[in-house]
Chains A and B, each alone.
Chain A
Amino acid sequence: MLYMPYKRKKYHHGDTHLKKQWRTKRRKRDLDEINEDMKVENAQKLLNQEVDLDKPGFAQFYCIHCARYFIDDHALKDHFKTKVHKRRLKALELEPYTIEESERAAGKGSFEPAKKRKIETQPIDELEKNVALRGIPLNVKSLKRMWDFQEGVRANRNQLEDKRFELAKAIKDLMSRGTDDVEVEKLKILAQKVKREIKVVTSSLWDLENKVMPKLLSLPNVLHTRTPLKTEKILHTYLDIPQGKQALSHVDIGNSLGILKVIGPLCYFLKNEGVKFELGLVQYLANYLRSKGFVQFSNPDFVKSLVVEGCGFDHEDPMMSFILKRDNSDDVDENNPNRLHLTGGASITPFCSYFAKHVLKDPLPVKLFASGRSYSPSALQINGSLVKSCQASAVQLFVALSNCPNVEDTMFDDLLADLINAYENLGYHFKVSYVPPSKMSSWECLRASFQMYSLFSQSYVEVGNLSMCSDFVSKRLLMYYQNPDKRVDFMRFVTGTVLSVPKVLACVLEDPINLHDGKLMLPLPAERKKRESVDLKRKRTKR
């Protein structure tokens, strides 16, 4: 007998007895709850959940809009194409009903129609996720569409060019045979038409490129697997957090000690011990890095927009780098976009300029450092302080590496260990942590941040950092190196501000342990020993 499947008697989903309907056992999240989930901070939490062995796919593949877990990436992507999911997106378009709306309906206030929103499926693409995590206001999907359109136009133009080439060839053939003037004339008219068309298409292609390329250049670097998605991941801490409260900020303390004078947001002066602290700290780091085989550089402070953009910064943003007046640049031309910027020698840009459009012939790794100034308007605020100063004495390191991710990883770890050692010698409390993408620059794929504690603001302040760049910048600025077998390839590099003096000074001033007899104790090892012995004495006398 032929197998007959069971024929359902009830045709509608949910057509069951009320008892079952009202059970909370299998209750899914309601639409207003999902609306709450869609808010960025919640969405981020839901999309990056901890591993939970009891949930499908260990809670790693979640659809926010349907509030469902899937077993793997494939299943999740398939789900996005289903009718259930699309129906759910449609249902979410309408703003949820609120108490305020009910009050309005009851005559309190006047009627406001519920708003409709456009709901899009959560980003599945790596790039989209990256852009979202970093908080860059960029719509990857529309950018992709623009890119596809541009490439379509380009293909169109190439076709036309081919056609013109064929026509030219045909005309030449006919001419050489010397026959049929009418045929040649026909072809010529056709060729002219094609030529005109090419002109139009090419100009529109240029327009498109002008629009699309800057956006493409603002796409960020890929994220390293070690980069934490949500919160900082602490790698190392040294000594305990300074305890207690500080009623005065470093500006007041420094002023009363006569070593610091902050004037407005742009200017500050260091005097006496303050200068010794600055010069001594920079020199200590220079000596330390030299002993680790680093080569010293003195870099120019100016850099052109070309390099600023190449390093993944917005070169037109006045808060990214100081932009100089046009008549100071070599080119007075009003429309020349290549302007002069002030970034300081102790920053990433001059190192990139050094290698840009050049091939490095030395065996890698090449380890460099520069001590000098670093200028950044982004931290500028009306109440001047050292933490947000826009001029800093700093030490920047730059290590050029071969194009191999493993080499980059091990070098990063080695450098991190070296820097931690250098910081420990100073004898201050600090912590090192990987920061989440939202706090990274677009050229970084991993950033380890060195932070010291400010007692006045009761928070950590980043005083130094080490970042991995992969080949993001070198591809843009054509920074090459030569293999032993004479092949050329893009270099990778690890760079970082080893230490920014004013920020360290700010944290040091706010901790009373560093002040002795109304004087700032210098952090040099010999001085530290003295301080420790003083502390011991103090402890003894207390007993």
Chain B
Amino acid sequence: MPASVRSWFPHPWREWRILDVWCFPSVIFKVFNANDANGQVTSKWREYELIVYVRSVFVAKSSSIAPDKIYDKSVLKPFPGFERKLHELDLNYLCNKNNIAEIEENVKRRKLNGDIKLIHELFARIQSAENGGEKDLLIEQLSEEALKIPNKLKPGLGDEPELMRYVGEKKTFSFSPKTFENLTKINGILRTEKLGHLTGRRSYFLCGALSQLEEAIVNFTVNHLYERGFQLVSVPDILPASVIEGCGMTTRGERNQVYRLDNQLYKTGTEWGDEICLSGTSEMALAALLAHESCSNGPIPSGELPLRICAVSRCYRAEVSSVATERGLYRVHEFTKVEMFGACPPDESAQLANELVSIEEEILTALGLHARVLQMGAADLGPQAYYKVDIEAWMPGRATSGSKEKEEEFGWGEVSSCSDCTDFQSRRLGIHYADRNGNRHLLHTVNGTAAAIPRLLIAILETHQREDKTIEIPNALRPFMNGCDTISPSQKVIDIKPLPVSLRSRS
């Protein structure tokens, strides 16, 4: 405990009556003095900043625990089981001189900044170094660098996306299809304007029918996945940096997509990456759940594999974009998503990934959308993916919003993707399974989007519009909307107008 904090406490310790010890953000102590000397103030409270954790609620006066013991860091785990697992990195592969060229090319093609040469240099120095502090430091440094090296690439993968197949038919219109913004403007089912200073830039409200449509898509997708034998899981949205990094997202540096809590106020230990982040996709939490289970209950028995899990969650992404076509709901900071996650023995991951892609196609077909399936090129892959399949839906309104030549470029919008991460995530988080003989092996993980709401809403509204701006609801969703079959443009949901100037000034 810092001396500055210690000085706050009167001694001896036992006389200090702490009714409630709160944990976590820099440890806040709320100390309630039931009565003040003059009987005026009902309660007094004070906050102290401590960097350590407090194990449990206690009353110091009545318990015999010495307060110093409570700050024992070894017993305090804000995120037990979510620690970084550096020792499982594949150093045999990374430190083999024959692989330098391959890894270097991989890093270059993905446009990442891992440095394999530095790793080899460090490795050589470790070998010659004597045991002791310096060697430990070098090992630490080596692990940090090794974390930056991406997953292997699927052999034969090009740099550019490659079309695999089309799903559904492209709908022809007898009129010029309207854009999503245009369709939602009249009846106020979407609000994106004048929100920057209130709920943050690029935030949005879905109102009335659009919000109901969101709920319907989520329920339809979850039902569909449940029938396909997926396990339902509800996940936390707030995770330590160690998990986010273990899944292949960077949390440091200027350009990153991760929202983080203020680390001056909320603290964790270095084992968890020192920061608390908001999850960008439920894939992260699901991977963390498997990691926790295989760490606390032992490796997952092979009889349970392959695991098929799905989760509905909110996703938070700090990405910014100033591209005009990505205005409105196309690229947003927060949205609801149904995510599929699979885990299987190494030789089955390709098969499982194919299954996820086919489920994605089924869902899009049921929603009456036209889409194309693309095998993504190396340049578009994150560090975690061995390969990735994207599905882009046709958005007729967006297609016609630009010039005729740019129709193809604007019209396709990514709505879901599926990546095979092989053992990249399992190594970093420690996800194991036990084969029939009880031997531990690393699992392979696969993830795919079942439904990402904002872009699906764009695709559905633009595809199923009529000339009078009425939206037809796809048959599959009607049971989830109390049988409602259209969204009418004439029914205004909430009618608000900006404050007139006369009322804006305030004394």
Spell out A's residues near B (CB within 8 Å).
Answer: 38-41, 43, 115, 117-120, 132, 135, 137, 261, 263-272, 274-276, 278-279, 283, 286-287, 290, 295-304, 306-307, 318-319, 322-330, 338, 340, 342, 345, 350, 353-362, 366, 368, 370-373, 375, 377, 380-383, 390-391, 393, 438, 478, 480, 488
Contacts and interface: CB of A to CB of B under 8 A. Distances in A.
A276 B233 CA distance: 9
Q: Please name the 8 residue pairs, one residue from A and one from B, whose CB atoms are nearest each other, closest first.
A: A38-B39, A270-B234, A275-B232, A298-B206, A382-B23, A267-B236, A300-B203, A318-B265
Nearest to A277: B234
Nearest to B79: A264
Interface string B195-232: 11111110111111011101100010010000000011
B1 to A, nearest CB: 16
Nearest to B238: A266
Nearest to A301: B334
Interface residues on B, range: 35 or more
A117 B80 contact: no
Given A319-B22, A330-B201, A361 B236 contact: no
A355 B496 CA distance: 8
A357 B196 CA distance: 13
Given A137-B44, A300-B204, A272 B39 contact: no
Contact of B80 (A132, A263, A268, A283): A263
A393 B234 contact: yes
22 contacts: A40-B39, A40-B40, A117-B37, A263-B236, A266-B239, A267-B79, A267-B82, A269-B285, A275-B232, A275-B233, A297-B207, A298-B205, A299-B205, A300-B195, A301-B314, A303-B199, A323-B265, A357-B498, A366-B494, A383-B56, A383-B57, A391-B236
Given A40-B34, A261-B292, 5 more contacts: A300-B200, A303-B199, A356-B198, A357-B498, A380-B25
B199 A380 contact: no
A268 to B, nearest CB: 6
B289 interface: yes
B266 interface: yes
A302 B308 CA distance: 31
Contacts of B293: 261
A276 B423 CA distance: 31
B45 A137 contact: yes
B211 A296 contact: yes
A279 B312 contact: yes
A135 to B, nearest CB: 4
A152 B316 CA distance: 49
Interface in B283-330: 285, 288-289, 292-293, 312, 314, 316, 318
Interface SS of chain A? mixed
B200 A357 contact: no
B263 A132 contact: no
A269 B215 contact: no
B420 to A, nearest CB: 24
Contacts of B92: none
A139 B386 CA distance: 63
Contacts of A393: 234
A318 B25 contact: yes
A261 B81 CA distance: 12
Contact of B79 (A263, A368, A375): A263
A346 to B, nearest CB: 11
B205 A391 contact: no
Given A268-B236, A301-B334, A358 B54 contact: no
Contacts of A43: 39
Given A275-B232, A357-B194, A296 B208 contact: yes
Given A297-B211, A324-B260, A304 B22 contact: no
A194 B30 CA distance: 50
A342 B40 CA distance: 35
Interface in B339-378: none
B66 to A, nearest CB: 17
Contacts of B497: 358-359, 361
Contacts of B165: none
Given A338-B197, A438-B42, A371 B215 contact: yes
Nearest to A38: B39
Interface in B1-55: 22-26, 28, 34-45, 53-55
A307 B262 contact: no
B24 A265 contact: yes
B336 A269 contact: no
A264 B77 contact: yes
Nearest to A353: B198
B500 interface: yes
B26 A318 contact: yes
B135 interface: no
B117 to A, nearest CB: 31
B504 interface: yes
Nearest to B276: A266
Nearest to B54: A382
Q: Which of B39, B44, B80, B500 has the most CB of A within 10 A?
A: B39
A135 B33 CA distance: 12
A307 B506 CA distance: 16
Contacts of B499: 357-359, 478, 480
Contact of B36 (A40, A115, A318): A40
Contact of B200 (A304, A377, A381): A304
Contacts of B482: 287, 290
B261 interface: yes
A57 B360 CA distance: 76
A357 B312 contact: no
A263 B233 CA distance: 14
A380 B21 CA distance: 10
A261 B197 contact: no
Contact of A330 (B82, B196, B263): B196
B498 A306 contact: no
A132 B82 CA distance: 44
Interface string B442-468: 000000000000000000000000000
Given A296-B215, A322-B261, A325-B260, A132 B25 contact: no
Interface string B242-276: 00000000000010000111110110000000001
Contacts of A478: 499, 503-504, 506
B496 A298 contact: no
B478 interface: no
A380 B22 contact: yes
A382 B238 contact: no
Nearest to A260: B234
A371 B82 CA distance: 29
A358 B40 contact: no
Contacts of A272: 231-232
B129 interface: no
B237 interface: yes
Contacts of B82: 263, 267
Which of A362, A375, A377 has its CB near the most chain B CB atoms (within 10 A)? A377
User: Quick one: which of A117, A263, A307 has the most chain B CB within 10 A?
Assistant: A263
A266 B494 contact: no
A458 B233 CA distance: 29
A362 B45 contact: no
A268 B238 CA distance: 10
A419 B472 CA distance: 33
Nearest to B55: A382
Given A265-B24, A329-B200, A383-B56, A271 B496 contact: no
B78 interface: yes
Contacts of A438: 42
A38 B38 contact: yes
A480 B191 CA distance: 18
A120 B43 contact: no
